[in-house]
Amino acid sequence: MEMLLDKLPDNAPQAACDLLDFWHRSRQEDGLPSRTEFSPTHLGPWLDDISIYEYVPSKNDFQIVIDGENIVKMMGEDWRGGYAREIDFRSDTSIHSALSVVRETEQPQIHLIHIFRKDWSRGVRLLMPVLRPCVGKKDVLQVFMAVFPIEFAADTDPFY
């Protein structure tokens, strides 16, 4: 289950707040950050929390090129090399749809998600579009996904 949010929840982990702020500060004149800004050097505090999805036009799908170590631990699977539609099929999610909206709007999205493999815990998911420059070719859109655990008191859990 996923819930689209307009903003990060008040109790969002500081790492999620800092990463989304970094995305906004890194935007170029064309509106998107590039891989120059979103490089391992600049993403140090979040490297293990990030998966990278790259849009593959011939498949109209997003291939997972990097699956962050903390995301793999949290979700219980390493999807590196797989595609968003495969995840949707196997996990009953709508990640392909969410990634498509991010690709079309070139705006980040924030979701509250169930983390099924961990006793139905919650996570806040950031989807942030980034351009990977390609010399002599059209730039490639990538979507950086970060998931951070988040806790709610039983009486404030938005899923109930």
Give the pLDDT of the chain (160 residues) as one tens digit per residue: 788 999 999 999 999 999 999 999 998 776 889 888 899 999 999 999 999 999 999 999 999 999 888 888 877 778 888 999 998 888 778 899 999 999 999 999 999 988 766 556 888 999 999 987 666 666 678 999 999 988 876 666 666 6
In the chain, what are the domains?
A: 2-150 (3.30.450)
Query: How much is the pTM?
Result: 0.89
The dihedral through the CA atoms of 72, 64, 9, 5 has a sign that is negative
Distance from C-alpha of 14 to C-alpha of 144, rounded to nearest angstrom: 18
